[in-house]
Chains A and B, each alone.
Chain A
Amino acid sequence: MFRFPRLGRLFAIAIVSALTMGSASTAVRYNDLGHKMMCVCGCNEILIECNHLGCPDSDRMLGELRASIAGGSGDDAILTAFQDKYGPTVLAAPMLTKFNIVAWIVPPAMLILGIAGTVVLVRRWRLRAAASPATPPAPHFPAMRERIRRETEL
């Protein structure tokens, strides 16, 4: 009775894990975190890639990022602090919280559902075709040859 909910949970965990794989690394934190945030000057660019001449925000924000890393804060804490200060739009992608998790789950779920639906549909077509009586061999070989040529042309 509880198999499907448990499977569903495992499935959701697998997808979330796959999508967030490796997010705990700290090897190149400044670069990574700089790529996970947006510049708030209105340029719509990734923080570390904002190159506007005299941008009023990016240098200050990158300075804050450096200070936060030097201060020993963890990645999530830094991202949360920036989110609290600048609002949720400062993050370049939604965090895995509440409704935002939907953003991550829906596209792969749609693909998997599409593939599963197609497999089921094709199997049903095949079974239906197998159940129907076999047609006698066509007497018109030239027509058959033409059809084969046409169908295998691509």
Chain B
Amino acid sequence: MPTFGSFALLLALALSGYTLVAGAIALRQLATGSRGRVSPERLAETARRAGIGSFVATTGAAFALVWAALNNDFSVAYILHHSNRALPGPYKFAALWSGQEGSLLLWAWLLSIYGFVLRLRHKVDVKLTAYASTILAGIQVFFLLLLNFAATPFSLASGPVAQDGFGLNPLLQYPEMVIHPPMLYLGYVGFAVPFAFALGALMMRYPGEKWIHITRRWTMVTWLFLTCGIFLGAHWAYSVLGWGGYWGWDPVENASLMPWLTGTAFLHSVMMQEKRGMMKSWNVWLIFSTFLLAIFGTLLTRSGLVSSVHAFAQSSIGTWFWTFLVIVLSVCLFTFILQRDHLKADNKIESLVSRESSFLFNNLVLLAACFTVLWGTLFPVLSEYIQGNKVTVSAPFYNRVAVPIGLFLLFLTGIGPLLAWRSSSFKSIRKNFVLPSIAGLVAAIVVIACGVHPWEIFTTSSQGSFYSFIAFTLAAVVITAIGAEFLRGAGVIARHTGQNLFASIIQLTRRNTRRYGGYIVHFGVVIIFIGIAGSAFNQSKEEELGFKQSVNIGPYRLECQSYSQDSNANYDTEYALLDVYRGGNKVTQLAPEKRFYTASQQPSTIVANHSTLAWDLYVIYAGKNPDTGQPIIKVFLNPLVAWIWIGVGIVVLGTGVALVPNMTAALAASRNRATALAPSAEAVAARGGD
């Protein structure tokens, strides 16, 4: 199998190389009108087919590595270092992305899948797809060069074949790790497609904005994957790392957030180009930046440039990534300079108080957030270069700098939809803002009455109360604004059709899925903000608990029923059984664990969590007191965490709605007629008519 895998990788490289070279020659011939022995159309077609062939070859290589993992082929060095016999099957499959070489193979494989779909759908626009396919092939060649010459996944282990492997990192032995990395990679890799279309459209001076229509679904699906990947990672960190939080501002987390922020900015500003022919250069650079940041994030985690909890081992492939990054940036810059006159805007913003300017400010804030994350991630390197010593830039920095920017973004989320295109009159602003403002005021009073005291920022070192007060207030404003938008539109439909309000809301959404799907996404984001705001009120306690001893936190009492240890082929475990009481009634039993994995000789925390809509009771087995032999239990009460995951679900729903095509006006009208006719038919039946 390793021989097959190596051959498949070489074949994939050859085919991708052909797609790149033949595609480039064909496009050059088409652009200049010159002709060789083979017509450019036929040459482009062979390039397309070679691209499809490279997908088959890359799939073969990925299959070979998974096969080797599932069959305990420890002659392959990668499998030896990332798997072992006792490892459960799904985690053996996850070994594909648990190390440097395997995850690069996953990159290449996912890219080949995207390329495969793109090349199959080439009839959407043959020439533009040929450009995009050639650019994708260029990216694919880079990853396949890496896999063939710098980070080979099928290298054989030296010496006799080992009986067992060193095992998978215990932190990765968690169900979410089977889906989190592929989701994240689908997001990272997926941005290569809109990037390729944007660069291709610029190279060929593509007329109009059709390339945006073609790539809209690609971009949204990619964005959705990245969103899910990021939040699955957050949930994994919350469930496995056992420090009570879900986001640690680690460089690897930051690496995933940066392209998400620029990608989000792109999804917003591209609407201005579609509708008003504005911000063309801006949009092109947004998608260029998003792809470059995805590559840069990969570089960050693999070059050893910054230290991180979950970065891959330092290796020489950083040089490869730097080179690739410089090449991509140079190509983008060169193409932009050459074709910049093609990106002249059709219109300009006419008023500061308009939907366009709200999009622009939204973009600015998203980019400021992205810059802040990039700045914080790279500042240690800059500091070492200038001051001669490294500094740490961690959560306290981001909490002070990035959180206010995030709240400003939340504010813009609320006011943007209330502004009209082109220009908003004072009257319309007043009309649209009254209700959300009242809701914000009421929320502020309620939040203060519930014990959130924003003025604590002046008396304590914590900004948590102040930020959460602002977040709750703005959340009320934004939710009211979104609700008002739905009700206004649905009210009109209800008046015209006689449908009830709920049916009208459904019809309204189906008539313009993009707009109302977007509002649902915004609603989900607000819910996520509410969940995050709860972290200002986290409580924690750490106590040693003997048999029948208990600890109180918030409304809960945790009583230790027993503590013991166990073992299986994969790990040894120590755990405690804790009965949880609330108001004297037993609510549940929790069993926090500490595992020690035999093959890798590494410990891991298994958190026990009792999650409700109000808060999570999050319990960690912190270890054993060596003097008494009793477990040390750390308990957290984390308010509103569940709302973060609910919010993500709403974001997924909203994106799904936005991806559905609009119901045409004609179909809507015919349905309305049918609805209007239905009661009369029933009435006929009731009268006993035929």
Contact = CB atoms under 8 A, between A and B. Distances in A.
B656 interface: no
A43 interface: yes
Given A92-B392, A99-B387, A154 B271 contact: yes
Contacts of B596: 53
Contacts of A89: 380, 390-392
Interface string A106-132: 111011001100110011011011000
B647 interface: no
Contacts of A93: 392-397, 400
Interface stretch (B56-64, B133-141, B361-369): B361-369
A110 to B, nearest CB: 6
A51 B620 contact: yes
B460 A103 contact: no
A22 B243 contact: no
Interface stretch (B177-185, B244-252, B556-564): B244-252
Interface stretch (B44-52, B149-157, B349-357, B521-529): B349-357
Interface string B238-272: 00001111001010000000000000000000010
A41 to B, nearest CB: 11
Interface residues of B, number: 71
A110 B395 contact: no
Contacts of B422: 151
Contacts of B458: 21-22
B680 interface: no
B368 A88 contact: no
A64 interface: no
B389 interface: yes
Interface string B383-406: 100110111111111001110110
A54 interface: yes
Contacts of A44: 250, 307-309, 394
B605 interface: yes
A19 B404 CA distance: 10
Nearest to A126: B350
B238 to A, nearest CB: 12
B391 A114 contact: no
Contacts of B380: 89
Contacts of B394: 38, 44, 46, 92-93
A108 B275 contact: no
A90 interface: yes
Contacts of B379: 94, 103
Contacts of A135: none
21 contacts: A19-B401, A22-B457, A22-B459, A25-B462, A28-B460, A43-B309, A49-B243, A53-B596, A53-B623, A92-B395, A93-B400, A107-B405, A111-B365, A114-B368, A115-B364, A118-B360, A119-B352, A122-B352, A122-B360, A151-B422, A154-B515
Interface of B: 242-245, 248, 250, 271, 275-276, 307-309, 348-352, 355, 357, 360-361, 364-365, 367-368, 371-372, 375-376, 379-380, 383, 386-387, 389-397, 400-402, 404-405, 420-422, 456-463, 512, 514-515, 518, 594, 596, 603, 605, 620, 622-623, 634
Given A104-B401, A111-B364, A153-B275, 17 more contacts: A25-B459, A32-B461, A44-B307, A45-B309, A51-B622, A87-B389, A88-B392, A93-B393, A93-B395, A94-B392, A99-B386, A110-B368, A114-B364, A114-B368, A122-B357, A151-B275, A154-B355
